[in-house]
A and B are shown apart, each in its own frame.
Chain A
Amino acid sequence: MPATEKIDLCKLHKDEYVSPKKPVLVRVKPAQYLSINGEGAPGDERFAACIGALYAVAFTIKMTRKFAGKQDYAVCKLEGQWFFEGDLARIPKDKWRWKLLIRTPDFVSQADRQQAVATLLGKGKTREVEEVKLERIDEGQCVQMLHVGPYDREHETIAQMQTFAEGKGLKLAGPHHDIYLSDPRRVPPQRLKTILREPVSAS
């Protein structure tokens, strides 16, 4: 196996994955992600199955490539985009629409994804793996800020980000994007760390 360094995208794109507790402007370069779309309350069965499917595909691609002696890399943390208009809190949770993401190096191809999905289905793993896509997302200019606390308090942080954007003559263009730095199964809600990202456009 070639002795190459393992690539860590989070460390490579530090400005996108390290954020202070105050709003900052960041230019996010186009990036490739494994993704899966869904609707429903975070934490329900469908949501959990989608996270499982996404990680299963991510690890299967990585390990298959590694076994074949190709460039190794670290599987990144879970991210999510949320699609809504107006106030999310007013929309019933089971109607929430989301796209879960895992950032993936550019050299990972559709063929890698197809092979991984076929392997997983062959072992009878989660049906949802078939829904996992490989796509590029270009968010461009964004406001980012570290949110510490429960997910249902994110709107307070978003309000600060909005004020910041407006001060620069920008408006939040959506979709809202979370980068989950903490494990919600174990970290108490007050200590959860999440990077919030809001794509912005000229107002």
Chain B
Amino acid sequence: MRPGMKDSTLRFYKERMLRVLVHIQQHLDEPLRLDELATLACLSPHHFHHVFTGMLGESLASHIRRLRLERAACRLKLSRTPVAQIALEAGYETHEAFSRAFRGSFGVSPTQFRRRNGKARQIQVRSGVHYHADARLKGFRAARTGDKKTMTVTIKQLKPMKVAFMRHVGPYNEVGKTWERFMMFLGKEGLLGGDAQFIGICHDDPAVTPPDKIRYDACVTVDDRFQAQGEIGVQVVAGGEYAVMTHFGPYEKLGESYAKLLGQWLPRSGRNLRSTPYFEVYLNSPENTEPADLVTDLYAPLEPARGGHHACDRKD
């Protein structure tokens, strides 16, 4: 890789994300669909949310919520539109809910804010992105973690892995039940041998997909002889290069590590993501391990190394 390549990749990622941020500001009154935003960022919807959270330092949902509140603040100050109307435009159905959210962000109620002609505390965000009526956004500060210890990323070349899997559709925090049934089946069949690997593939993003629609595959590596039966399917986890980061601690905090890997490491790595799903490998069992001692490897699929440019960047 030639010198400076990594900086230029970061620039590409920032340009893509800037397109998304401008689009969000121009379309605050619309539902803002995930796949549309992901397309603007040249990312698959699988990966988009984590990249966004990691780069901006806030989730997509809270970013949109905040900008709608900031726009409401502008309108309170500069217009005479009734508060109830502004609340509705900000996506709040009741005045109370709007007041609560507004006070939480600005420290005063919407009425007080208007009376004081907009004198209130400012919302502080690391990215520096705030609402502008003309959506003129020149750039933003990409979040960066100073914590080197938790940011050790290695690149691994994997062979394709044949896995038996059981599909879970429903809240992410209930995948344990599917694992229990799946392990029981595999165990009685003698398939939990010493070298079996335990893998989780999440096809949807728990942060943006309704809980009852999240698809997750509990997977265990099997040998060539294994055949699909009943609720147990067979799939192949794609080989190729992966960026791997170890997550230490409870499963509830996996999202934070994904955001670091995809939103902070990736843009500075000079690499692009492949559109196959990312996955996680569980290295110890929650059954006999305290949540703080759980160890999980996160795998993000990479395109073969080449320029920082992405085919989709050339469109505009």
Contacts and interface: CB of A to CB of B under 8 A. Distances in A.
Interface centre among B185, B193, B289 (most CB of A within 10 A): B193
A57 to B, nearest CB: 10
B190 interface: yes
Interface string A42-60: 0000001101110110011
Contacts of B189: 119, 123
B187 A64 contact: yes
Interface string B16-50: 00000000000000000000000000000000000
Interface residues of B, number: 25
Contacts of B246: 186
Contacts of A125: 190, 193-194
B186 interface: yes
A64 B188 CA distance: 4
B185 A67 contact: yes
Contacts of A59: 183, 187, 192
Contacts of A124: 223, 225
A92 B225 CA distance: 41
Interface string B278-294: 00000111011100010
Contacts of B194: 48-49, 51-53, 55-56, 125-126
B295 interface: yes
Contacts of A122: 190
A176 interface: no
B293 A182 contact: yes
B316 interface: no
B295 A186 contact: yes
B43 to A, nearest CB: 30
B288 A126 contact: no
Interface centre among B185, B187, B190, B225 (most CB of A within 10 A): B190
Nearest to B285: A75
Interface residues of A, number: 34
B184 interface: yes
B134 interface: no
A27 interface: no
A183 interface: yes
A50 to B, nearest CB: 9
Contacts of B248: 186
Nearest to A126: B194
Interface string A83-124: 000000000000000000000000000000000100111111
Interface in A55-81: 55-56, 59-60, 62-64, 66-67, 74-77
A183 B295 contact: yes
Contacts of A186: 246, 248, 283, 295
B143 interface: no
Given A52-B195, A56-B192, A126-B193, A67 B284 contact: no
Interface string B101-134: 0000000000000000000000000000000000
A75 B287 contact: yes
B64 interface: no
Contacts of A52: 193-195
B181 to A, nearest CB: 10
Nearest to A193: B293
A126 B189 CA distance: 15
Contact of A75 (B185, B186, B288): B288
Nearest to A55: B194
Contacts of B285: 75
A88 B11 CA distance: 57
Nearest to B248: A186
B191 interface: yes
Contacts of B188: 60, 63-64, 67, 119
Q: Which 8 residue pairs across A and B have the least CB separation, nearest first? A: A52-B194, A63-B187, A119-B190, A125-B193, A123-B190, A59-B192, A67-B188, A64-B188
Interface of A: 10, 48-49, 51-53, 55-56, 59-60, 62-64, 66-67, 74-77, 116, 119-126, 181-183, 185-187
21 contacts: A51-B194, A52-B195, A55-B194, A56-B193, A60-B190, A63-B184, A63-B188, A63-B192, A64-B188, A67-B184, A67-B188, A74-B287, A74-B288, A119-B190, A122-B190, A125-B193, A126-B193, A126-B195, A183-B283, A183-B284, A183-B289
